[in-house]
Amino acid sequence: GSKYAVRKPISLTASITFEQLYGMIEGDSATCAELYALLSAISEVPARQGFSVTGSMDQSGNVQPIGGVNEKIEGFFDLCSHRGLDGSQGVIIPERNVRNLMLRKDVVEAIGKKAFRIYAIDHVEEGIEILMGMPPGEPGPDGTYPEGTVNRLVEDRLAALREASKVEKDRKERGKNENNNQ
């Protein structure tokens, strides 16, 4: 907990499952997407649905390159084209993959017309505002995040979960003690 449980520890286990499996896609290239899904769920800030995210990350949030970046972009572009490009769709990729881009002409043209976008990021927090329309937020001198930021909403929600867990634990203890006294 170097990000959210700095002042008060919290025990949290989260599991994310993607039900669909695709051939020839393997590895940890969904790590960033998994984090965004978790942050969106905890903060209750919806993520934009017109975006695809690919990229792995280290424990500090630095986005790592992935394989098959061209195929992933083109595959999502084809889906968006089929559904109708409206300028709100795009992909978030690792900055370190930009040098590997060799996209089809139709993808490059759509990007030039701003009908489709590619955002290249170095740190996972760069994608938060792109996906959620709200800044991630940096901690202030007292260690809390500013109002109106995703990190503040996450921090507040984790504090509420911590308190609810404590109340439930206390309730169970009281029930146990009452049963022992009978």
CATH topology of domain 16-135: Ribosomal Protein S5; domain 2 (3.30.230)
Contacts of 86 (CB under 8 A, 6+ apart): 50, 115
Q: Which of 3, 11, 29, 40 is catalytic?
A: 29
State the average pLDDT over residues 48-77: 95
Sign, CA torsion 4/5/8/11: positive
CB 97 within 8 A of CB 69: yes
Q: Which has more confidence, 85 or 175?
A: 85
Tell me the pLDDT tens digit for each residue of 40-51: 999 999 999 999
Tell me if residue 176 is catalytic: no
CB 95 within 8 A of CB 114: no
Q: Which of 40, 43, 56, 72 is catalytic?
A: 72
Per cent of the chain over pLDDT 90 is 67
Maximum pairwise Cα distance, the chain: 78
Q: Are strands 51-53 and 63-64 parallel, antiparallel or unpaired?
A: unpaired
Task: Please give the distance of CA 163 from its chain centroid, rounded to a whole number.
Answer: 25
Q: Is 181 helix (H, G, I), strand (E, B) or coil?
A: coil
Residue 24 has pLDDT above 60, yes or no: no
Residue 22 has pLDDT above 80, yes or no: no
pLDDT at 27: 62
Tell me the pLDDT tens digit for each residue of 89-142: 999 999 999 999 999 999 999 999 999 999 999 999 999 999 999 999 999 999
Tell me if residue 29 is catalytic: yes
